[in-house]
Structure 1
C-alpha cells in the first residue's frame, strides 16, 4: 500500500495477539479482575494516581482530608510519562489510576492492561454526556471514567463577516456558500484552513455526522474509515479545496498563527479547548472573534467532538473499588469537577456544563460566554464513535494521505480508501478478527 511504511508497526507489540483477544474486547468479557488484593471496605488503602490536569494536587488534598480510609498519592505526568505506562502495567509496577486519552483504550484492553469497571459504575452513565460515556464503553463493559471532552464550536471573525455582509452559516451548505462569498469579496480571505497535519479537524466532523473509524461487529472489528459518513465529509472538503476556499497551511506552525493574526482565515471549527490557545496565540485579534454552533449536516442537529481523556484503573491495582470511588468523585461530583474546570479542561460530567466557573464571559470573544455554545454542543454529540486498536496508526496514515491530497496527487475519497486498506491490513497483522 502507498506510504504504509511510514506508519506500520510503530511500537505495537500486538503483532502476535491471538484472535481471542478481539473476542474478549468485542464481547467485553476480557480485562483484569483487579488483582488478588483484599478489597474489603474496612481496609485502609492508598491509591497511586498519575495525571496531568493542572491543579489536581489540590483536588487530591481535599479528597484525602475527607476520606482517611482511601488515601491518594498523586504523581504529575510530564513528557513521556504516558509512554511508560504499558511496560509498567506489564511489569506489575504501574499506579492504580492513570489519566490517558480515550482513543488509546482499545489497545490497552486487548492487552489486558485495564480493569473492567462494570461492577463499580452502576447508574453512573447518566452523570456524563452520552458521547464521553460512549468512549469508555465497549459492549456492556466499562473501562474508564470520562474526565474531559472536546465538543466543537465555530470560532469566526465578527469583523470580517460584518465588513462583507456575510451571515454566520448554520449548515455546511451555507458554510461553503459563505466561503464563495468571501472569495468573491476578497480573494485573500479564506473561510477556513486545510491542515493535513491535524486529523482532529477531520475526525470531529465525521463524529458529528454520526460516523466513526471503527465499529465492533459481533466478534470482529469493522473498519469504517471510508464509510458513508466519512465520504460525505470528503465531498464537503473536496469542494472547499477544489474551489480554493480554504488556505492550505499546517496547523500549530508559526506560518499558521501568522495567517490567523493577519485575518486571512475567517473561521476555525474546533474543540472547546481551542479558544484559549487562539487567545494566547492571536492577541492582536482580541474582540474580533465570537463562537457559534458548528454548522449542521442536512437533517441532523448533531455537534462534533474531538475526544478527551479518561481515568482508568490498571490491571495491577489491588483496590479497584476504592480507585473507582475516588475517580468517580473527581470526575462527576460538583467539587471534583470544579477542580477540573479551574485546571482548564472542559468537563465530561453533566454537572459541569452548568458550572458558574465554566460559564464566564470572555473579553477576547467580545464579552461572549462562549462555553454556553460548547456546553450545548456537548449534549448534542452523537454517541457513535468507537476508538480502535490502531487509532494512532490510522490517524498518522490519514495525515500522510491528506498531505498527498493537499499536493493534488489524490482526492479525499482516494485517501480514505487507502487508509481503510492500511487499517484492515494492520488489524489482520495483529491477529485480530476483521469484519469482511
Structure 2
C-alpha cells in the first residue's frame, strides 16, 4: 500500500541517466486515443486477473454495455508468472488492455514504462475512492491505475476453542503470547497459529503493524530501513514463540495447513478481509466456530492496523488500442455498486470506494455472518481499514523484496538462526538490488 505521502514523491531514480519524471515523462508516452471500430461493432477488451470468480463482474459489465465487451484471461497472481507475462506482452506490442496489479507492483510497472496515463478518462473520479487507495495509482497529478480493494488485517480465530479454555480475545501481543501458552498446553498438537514463512506479505504486514516503515524517499534517492527497531521488535516476538514451540512452522495454504484449519490444530489466522472466503471454502464444517477480532496491539489501547500487501488495482497497459474504453471499464469494475458487491462477495478484498452504503453484502450477508456465529465481521474490517498506517510506501522491485524476505526467513527457520538476521539480510539484498538497477539509495 502506498501512503498519502506518495503524491509528494516527484520521481523514481532509475538506471544510468534515465529519470522517469512521473509528472511528465511517463504521461507523455501515453497514446491518448482509441481505435474505435468503424462498423459499429463493440470495442473488444482483454482483462487479465487472478481474482477467483471475477468473471461474474465481467459478465455483469458485458450485459450492461453494448458498445464495449470484455474477455477475461485468468493469470497467475503476482510476480510468479503473471506480471512477467504482462511486461513481456507490452515489450512485444501485444498487451492486454486492463490488468490486475497489486499496489506493490505499480512502481515496477512504471519504471518499465508499462502503464498508460489514464488521467483524462478517470481523473475526475477521485472522490469516489478512499484517498490512500486512490493514491496508490496517482503520481504528481497523473493517474495510472484505479484502485479495487485493500486487504486490511484482522484475526480469524476459533472462538469455541478460546471459550473452552477460558481465554478472552487477546487485544495485545502480550495477551496473545499468554494465550499461545494456554492453547499449546491444552493439547501438544494445537497451536495458536501457523508461522507462515512462505508469505512475505504476511511478514511485511506484521512489521508494518508494529510501526515499521521500510521505504521512503529523500531527494532523489530511496531510504531503505528493513532492519529498523520496530521490525526487530516484531521479529524477536515471533522468535520467542518459535523457540518455545508455541506456533506451528508450516506454509499457509498447504495441504497440512488446510487440515489444521479444519481440525482446529491451528486456532487463529491473521490475514486480510478477503480471507473470509478462503476460510469458509477450506473449512465449511467448522461453521459457527469462528469469529474475527482486530489485530493485537503492541500497546494497550492503541488502534494500529496494516494490510496484506496493500491491495490491488486495475491498470491499463501501455500500448492498449483502446485506452479510453479500458479506463472506463476499470472505473466501472471498481466503483459501480453492482460490480463492487460482486467483488466483495467473491473475496476480492475491502472495497476501495469511499461510500459502501450501497454494497449490500457489507450490510447483510447471512451466509457469512452465520459462519462466524452471527457476527458482522465487516465491522471489524471497516475499522481495520480506517486504522491502516497510510505513510507506508512500496518501492521499485517489490518482487525482489518478496522473494528475498521469503528465502531469508525460510533459511532462518530451517537453520535455527534468528529471524532478526533474516530481516538484516533482506535489507542488504534490497539495497544491492536497487543499486544494481541504478536506483539511488541513501
User: Which one of 396, 405, 424 corresponds to residue 398 of structure 1?
Assistant: 405
Q: Which residue of 2 aligns with 1:372?
A: 379
User: Which one of 339, 356, 360 corresponds to residue 360 of structure 2?
Assistant: 356
Deviation per CA, 1:244-266: give whole Å up to 9, x if none. Answer: 22111222222222323332222
Asked if the contact 2:293/2:380 (under 8 Å) is kept, the reply is yes
Correspondence 1:429 to 2:417: no
Correspondence 1:386 to 2:393: yes
Asked if the contact 2:46/2:96 (under 8 Å) is kept, the reply is yes
Correspondence 1:292 to 2:296: no
Asked if the contact 1:134/1:385 (under 8 Å) is kept, the reply is no
The structure-2 alpha-carbon separation of the partners of 1:221 and 1:118, relative to structure 1 and needing over 3 Å to count, comes to farther
Q: Secondary structure at the match of 1:149?
A: strand
Q: Which residue of 2 aligns with 1:158?
A: 159
Mapped partners of 1:315, 1:389: distance in 2: 18
Mapped partners of 1:97, 1:324: distance in 2: 8
Deviation per CA, 1:70-128: give whole Å up to 9, x if none. Answer: 52432322455653221221222213322222222111100111123344444544433
Q: Secondary structure at the match of 1:201?
A: helix
Structure 2: gaps of 5 or more residues: 1-13
Deviation per CA, 1:160-190: give whole Å up to 9, x if none. Answer: 1111111101122221222233344444432
User: Offset at 1:425?
Assistant: 0.5
Correspondence list, 1:70-85, <5 A: 71-79=68-76, 82-85=83-86
The structure-2 alpha-carbon separation of the partners of 1:328 and 1:233, relative to structure 1 and needing over 3 Å to count, comes to same
The structure-2 alpha-carbon separation of the partners of 1:156 and 1:219, relative to structure 1 and needing over 3 Å to count, comes to same
User: Offset at 1:237?
Assistant: 1.5
Length, aligned pairs only: 417
Correspondence 1:330 to 2:333: yes
Correspondence list, 1:97-136, <5 A: 97-122=98-123, 124-136=125-137
The structure-2 alpha-carbon separation of the partners of 1:170 and 1:116, relative to structure 1 and needing over 3 Å to count, comes to same
Mapped partners of 2:28, 2:318: distance in 1: 5
Deviation per CA, 1:213-243: give whole Å up to 9, x if none. Answer: 4323332222232233322322322232233
Correspondence list, 1:219-238, <5 A: 219-238=220-239
Correspondence list, 1:19-418, <5 A: 19-21=16-18, 23-24=20-21, 29-31=25-27, 33-35=29-31, 37=33, 46=43, 48-52=45-49, 53=51, 59-60=57-58, 63=61, 71-79=68-76, 82-122=83-123, 124-138=125-139, 140-298=141-299, 300-306=302-308, 307-317=310-320, 319-346=322-349, 347-352=351-356, 355-358=359-362, 359-361=364-366, 362=368, 363-418=370-425
- What is the root-mean-square deviation of aligned Cα atoms in Å? 3.1
Mapped partners of 1:284, 1:314: distance in 2: 42
Deviation per CA, 1:123-148: give whole Å up to 9, x if none. Answer: 54443334433432445543211112
Structure 1: gaps of 5 or more residues: 1-16
The structure-2 alpha-carbon separation of the partners of 1:174 and 1:253, relative to structure 1 and needing over 3 Å to count, comes to same
Q: Secondary structure at the match of 1:76?
A: strand
Asked if the contact 1:22/1:433 (under 8 Å) is kept, the reply is no
User: Offset at 1:63?
Assistant: 4.4
Mapped partners of 1:210, 1:116: distance in 2: 33
Greater displacement, 109-118 / 291-300: 291-300
Greater displacement, 302-311 / 362-371: 362-371
